[in-house]
Chain A
Amino acid sequence: EAGVAQSPRYKIIEKRQSVAFWCNPISGHATLYWYQQILGQGPKLLIQFQNNGVVDDSQLPKDRFSAERLKGVDSTLKIQPAKLEDSAVYLCASSYLTTVNEQFFGPGTRLTVL
């Protein structure tokens, strides 16, 4: 079974630039999550999709972050414009539909904002 795929693995940008991350979940997983993990901290949920609908985006900084999951499969997370404090690893995860199922994580995208 193929795992969660993310690209790019690394990205360096200047502040005020824009950046986009891509995630392809495990086939058949209805739920997709984006997390932000700042160095030394636990993952922080940014947004959760169930199929192509948003379940929870309460911690997403909506003035600069956006995400979409067209057709309920792949997802893109965008930051525009980026700030220095956005430097982090962005993790994508997917799971089956129910609350009892564990999440499977991708390798993450390490973003450095200079």
Chain B
Amino acid sequence: AQSVAQPEDQVNVAEGNPLTVKCTYSVSGNPYLFWYVQYPNRGLQFLLKYITGDNLVKGSYGFEAEFNKSQTSFHLKKPSALVSDSALYFCAVRGNNNDMRFGAGTRLTVKP
């Protein structure tokens, strides 16, 4: 069965600095990878996905993610963090039978 690991519970960055939220995955077959964001008292919102093609995927709110097959990673990045980016971020992988597995989440805090 597929699985996802988010090795950092918490990431702290200063506003204006670049940010990276890490994710590694395990899946048999082609990986379908997703990032979601969860703001307080709100449901999960889709940010971006990798299905095939370019390893650098661009998504909502200026986020992007880099797919690395050899390292089985799909790290989320943003060149310049905003205070409003502070939230809980989840990486997810979908297997060939369409089921989804989520990571435990990484809390991003952007300080002014």
- Do B100 and A33 have beta carbons less than 8 Å apart? yes
Name the interface size band of chain B: 20 to 34
Within 8 A of B (CB), among A34-59: 35, 40-45, 48, 50, 55-56
CB distance from A46 to the nearest CB of B (A): 11
Whether A48 contacts B105 in the complex (CB less than 8 A), given A91-B44, A103-B46, A107-B43, comes out as no
- Total interface residues on A, CB under 8 Å, equals 26
B78 within 8 A of A: no
The answer to whether A42 and B102 touch across the interface, beta carbons within 8 angstroms, is yes
Minimum Cβ distance to chain A for residue B36 (Å): 8
Chain A residues contacting B51 (CB-CB under 8 Å) are 100
Interface 1/0 per residue, B29-57 and A, CB below 8 Å:
00010101000001111100101000000
Asked if B45 and A55 sit within 8 Å, CB to CB, the answer is no
Q: Determine the distance from Cα of A65 to Cα of B92 in the docked complex, in whole angstroms.
A: 24
Residues on A with C-beta less than 8 A from B100 are 33, 45, 103
Which residues from chain A contact B45 at a C-beta distance below 8 Å?
105
Q: A41-B104, A105-B43, A105-B44 are in contact. Are A100 and B97 (CB under 8 A)?
A: no
CB contacts (< 8 Å) of A106 on chain B: these are 43
B75 at the interface (CB under 8 A from A): no
Option from B4, B90, B99 in Cβ contact (under 8 Å) with A55: B99
B77 at the binding interface (Cβ < 8 Å): no
**Chain B residues within an 8 Å CB radius of A105:** 36, 43-45
Chain B residues with CB under 8 Å of chain A are 4, 6, 32, 34, 36, 42-46, 49, 51, 90, 94, 96-105
12 A-B contacts (beta carbon < 8 Å): A33-B100, A41-B104, A42-B104, A45-B101, A55-B98, A56-B99, A99-B94, A102-B49, A103-B34, A103-B44, A105-B45, A106-B43
10 tightest A-B CB contacts, nearest first = A42-B102, A105-B43, A102-B46, A105-B44, A56-B99, A100-B51, A42-B104, A107-B43, A99-B98, A43-B102
